[in-house]
Amino acid sequence: MRFVDEFRDADKAHALAAKIAGLCEPGRRYKLMEVCGGHTHTIYKHGLEDYLPESVTLVHGPGCPVCVIPMGRVDDAIHLAAQPDVIMTSFGDMMRVPGSHGSFFDAKAEGADIRMVYSPLDSLKIARQNPDKRVVFMAIGFETTTPSTAMTVLRAAAEGLANFSIFCNHVTIIPAIKAILDSPDLRLDGFIGPGHVSTVIGCRPYEFIAREHGKPVVVAGFEPLDILQSIYMLMLQLSEGRSEVENQYTRVVPWDGNLAALKAINEVMELRPYFEWRGLGFISHSAMRMRPAYSAFDAELLFHVPGVRVADPKACQCGEVLKGVLKPWECKVFGTACTPETPIGTCMVSPEGACAAYYNFGRMNRRRVVEVSIS
């Protein structure tokens, strides 16, 4: 298949792997963080770690949209969905995320009208078709999905649609990366930058990582060769003692981002003073809310939202996993009490969550398995 197979070529991967191995200094260990959950998914889905020398470890970062949603927000959303005249709409990833009394799936089974959509524009369609209902879109995601929510609100405003609103949970990536860089228990050598987020925000916002923290950043695409090449680019910077922001994903990411998308976000939304992240706690200016001019579309103002903060189960170590301090299997409840069937933590829910990716794709002794599959 064109535009896909070219980026999964095993021969090219072998060549890159050899170059990466050649850049490893004997005795030195390298810890690289892929910030984005989409990268985590690709890495596990294609078995990319098989190509890396033992001294290079990938640390899975916080960029998984549903993984960072705290339990209290899920409870709030379910409370909205349970109103008799409400149709709640959301992306499929959200359906299994556990609140303190179950997930969207459970609420749906109890009678709430919750529908899965592929785009917020689909929610708008549902609102048009159901004028006697109030349609709420559970908006989640980083800067990748924020523009589409903003565009949907602009469209709804232009149409004068009165029965549509947004429950806004959009978060921003830079404060999360800052939180990780400030975290004392983690030593990283470099970052694989989030490709899709960067199509919107561009590469400039990462410059502080290179300048102030001395860590190289390579913005990467989502095919396995993209990631392998970005690892090579990071290793090359490290071996040459450079720390710069580089763009591997030039076919999609413009250096300055997408100005039209940023304008749309800025028109409709503003930064919240603070927002709770699952496992990371409260982070200042790390999420978006609707601007007063668009309050007619803000579910948090239109409805009574309980807003109760719910503590994570004590044994859940999602925060440590999101920060990359723990590998998924190092969490106390991984795979026993917390599984994809009965997730306790959000990292076990989304296919982009580090725990789910490891459980579903990587739950094996890599050394033993490589021997088997070669035979």
276 binds other proteins (CB under 8 A): yes
Contacts of 18 (CB under 8 A, 6+ apart): none
Q: Hey, which residues between 229 and 258 contact other proteins (CB under 8 A)?
A: none
Which of 21, 106, 128, 301 is the binder for other proteins (CB under 8 A)?
A: 106
Contacts of 127 (CB under 8 A, 6+ apart): 87, 133, 135, 156, 161, 163, 164
Q: How many CB atoms lie within 10 A of CB 320?
A: 18
Q: Which of 98, 139, 161 lies closest to 345 in space, CA to CA?
A: 98
Question: Residue 305 Cβ, how far from other proteins at the closest point, in Å?
Answer: 15
The contact pattern for other proteins, residues 295-334, with x = CB under 8 A and - = no contact, is -------------xxxx-x-x-------------xx-xxx
Contact between 9 and 18 (Cβ < 8 Å):
no
- For other proteins, the closer of residues 31 and 285 by Cβ is 285
- For other proteins, the closer of residues 79 and 237 by Cβ is 79
- For other proteins, the closer of residues 200 and 237 by Cβ is 200
Which of 30, 51, 137, 164 is the binder for other proteins (CB under 8 A)?
A: 51
360 binds other proteins (CB under 8 A): yes
Contacts of 177 (CB under 8 A, 6+ apart): 35, 61, 62, 191, 206, 209
Contact between 269 and 291 (Cβ < 8 Å):
yes
Question: Residue 343 Cβ, how far from other proteins at the closest point, in Å?
Answer: 9
Which of 67, 283, 322, 347 is the binder for other proteins (CB under 8 A)?
A: 283
130 binds other proteins (CB under 8 A): no
* Sole residue written with tokens 């060549």: 15
53 binds other proteins (CB under 8 A): no
62 binds other proteins (CB under 8 A): no
CA distance 232 to 369: 25
Q: How many CB atoms lie within 10 A of CB 162?
A: 12
132 binds other proteins (CB under 8 A): no
Question: Residue 167 Cβ, how far from other proteins at the closest point, in Å?
Answer: 15
Question: Residue 170 Cβ, how far from other proteins at the closest point, in Å?
Answer: 12
